[in-house]
C-alpha cells in the first residue's frame, strides 16, 4: 500500500499594513533681519539684542546719528543702566541731542533750549499784558454799567413828584395869567357891555 503523503497547506503570511504618518516638510527657516545697529556695526544680531527694539532695520539713519555722537558702546551702557520702560524715551532723547549737536557743533541742544526759553519768556510777558488789559477793560465796563444804572434811576423818578412840581409852579403862572387878564383881556371883556349901556341910555333920552 502506498502511503499517501498528505501535505497540509502552510498558511501564507498576510502582509501587515503599517500606517506611517506622513511627515510634513520642515518649515522654512525664519530669517531675522538684523537691526540697524548690528547691520551698521557688521555683527551678528542676537535674539535678545539690546538695541534691536529701538533701532529697527528700517531706520538706519537713527542709529547712525546717535552712533556718530555718542558711540555704540556708550549707547548700550546707558540703556543697560535704565529700566526697560524708560529706554525708548532715552533713545529718542539721544537721537534728538545728536541731531542738534550735528547741526550746531558748538552749542548743540543748548542753543535750541535757550531759544525756546526766550520764546516762553516773551509769550509770558504778552500774556501778562493781555491779562492787565482785560482787567482794565472789565473795570471800565463796571464803571460804565454803574453810570448807566444811575442815569436810569434818575430818569425813572416816581410820577407823583410831577404834580407837586406843577403845584409849586402854579401860583406864579396864575399870577402871570391874572396880570395878563387885568391888563389886556379885562378891558376887552367889559368894553361891549359899556357901549351897550351907553347906547341904551341915549335911546331913552
Instruction: Quick: pLDDT tens for 58-108.
Output: 999 999 999 999 999 999 999 999 999 999 999 999 999 999 999 999 998
Domain membership of residue 62 (yes or no) is yes
SS (H, E, C) 127-193: HHHHHHHHHHHHHHHHHHHHHHHHHHHHHCCCCCHHHHHHHHHHHHHHHHHHHHHHHHHHHHHHHHH
Asked if the structure places residue 184 within a domain, the reply is no
Terminal alpha carbon distance of the chain = 228
Domain boundaries, position 132: 112-154
User: Looking at 34-48, 67-81, 156-170, 191-205, which range is the least confident one?
Assistant: 191-205
Final residue of a structural domain among 84, 103, 122: 103
Q: Are residues 95 and 124 in the same domain?
A: no
Whether residue 91 sits in one domain with residue 55: yes
Nearest to 78 by CA among 105, 115, 51, 103: 51
Digit-coded pLDDT (tens) for 112-161 = 899 999 999 999 999 999 999 999 999 999 999 999 999 888 888 665 45
Report the candidate in 79, 104, 81 with the shortest Cα–Cα distance to residue 92. Answer: 79
Position 121 in a domain: yes
In a domain, residue 98? The reply is: yes
Q: Is 140 exposed, middle or buried (0-12, 13-18, 19+ CB in 10 A)?
A: exposed
In a domain, 122, yes or no: yes
Q: Please count the structural domains in the chain.
A: 2
Looking at the structure, tell me whether residues 88 and 69 fall in a common domain: yes
Listed residue (33, 106, 41) closest to 71, CA to CA? 41
96 & 45 share domain: yes
What pLDDT, on a 0 to 100 scale, did the predictor assign at position 21? Answer: 45
Amino acid at each position: 500500500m502506498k502511503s499517501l503523503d498528505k501535505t497540509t497547506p502552510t498558511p501564507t503570511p498576510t502582509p501587515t499594513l503599517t500606517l506611517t504618518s506622513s511627515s510634513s516638510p520642515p518649515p522654512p527657516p525664519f530669517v531675522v533681519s538684523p537691526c540697524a545697529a548690528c547691520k551698521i556695526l557688521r555683527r551678528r544680531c542676537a535674539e535678545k539684542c539690546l538695541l534691536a527694539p529701538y533701532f529697527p532695520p528700517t531706520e538706519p539713519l537713527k542709529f547712525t546719528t546717535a552712533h556718530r555722537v555718542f558711540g555704540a558702546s556708550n549707547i548700550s551702557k546707558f540703556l543697560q543702566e535704565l529700566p526697560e520702560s524708560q529706554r525708548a524715551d532715552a533713545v529718542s532723547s539721544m537721537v534728538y541731542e545728536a541731531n542738534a549737536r550735528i547741526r550746531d557743533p558748538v552749542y548743540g541742544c543748548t542753543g535750541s533750549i535757550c531759544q525756546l526759553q526766550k520764546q516762553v519768556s516773551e509769550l509770558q510777558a504778552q500774556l501778562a499784558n493781555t491779562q492787565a488789559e482785560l482787567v482794565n477793560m472789565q473795570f471800565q465796563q463796571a464803571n460804565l454799567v454803574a453810570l448807566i444804572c444811575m442815569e436810569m434811576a434818575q430818569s425813572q423818578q416816581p410820577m407823583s413828584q410831577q404834580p407837586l412840581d406843577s403845584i409849586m409852579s402854579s401860583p406864579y403862572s396864575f399870577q402871570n395869567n391874572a396880570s395878563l387878564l387885568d391888563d389886556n383881556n379885562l378891558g376887552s371883556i367889559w368894553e361891549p357891555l359899556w357901549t351897550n349901556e351907553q347906547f341904551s341910555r341915549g335911546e331913552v333920552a
